[in-house]
Amino acid sequence: MNKKKLITKLKTAFDVNTNQKLADKLETTKSTVDSWSRRDISLKYLLKTVELTGVSMEWLTSEDEPKFVFNGSNNLGQNTGSGIGMQIGNTEKEQKNILEFIDDYQRIEKLLYFDDNQKLIKERKEVIEKGLNDIIKELKEYI
């Protein structure tokens, strides 16, 4: 496979545009990513990309131009005609807008999770404060 195209697909899968950002996502060095244009990319980085982003190995290693599909888990992959998928974004701008929408949705989910955790922490804090107040009250009786 064309190494330049593969590196571009890796960047697309992680939604990054530099070798440094790709290296950060794959927990390696920029020099390792830079060297991929001269040598083969280790299978471990392809497998890690599949695991972390949900794109298919078929999409990563194919020579075809990417045709993105939403696979229902906020990940993108190639529409190969197999399985069920909905083609999204006919243009690069549409694809970018859809990716931004997915990112916004994920941020909202995280905020809701954070809000739920804040409520739980507040409830636990109140229980602890009540317990401490009871202990202080008992201690005052002994003093």
Q: Which of 14, 10, 51 shows the shortest CA–CA distance to 33?
A: 10
What are 101-143's pLDDT values in tens digits? Answer: 776 776 676 777 676 777 777 788 888 888 888 888 888 877 6
R_g over Cα of the chain: 24
> What residue type is assigned to position 54 of the chain?
G
- For tokens 């131009």, the residue is 65
Neighbours of 7 (CB within 10 A): 17
Please state, in angstroms and rounded to a whole number, the distance separating the CA atoms of residues 86 and 100. Answer: 17
Neighbours of 55 (CB within 10 A): 24
Q: Which of 50, 118, 56, 116 shows the shortest CA–CA distance to 83?
A: 56
pTM for the full model?
0.48
pLDDT at 129: 82
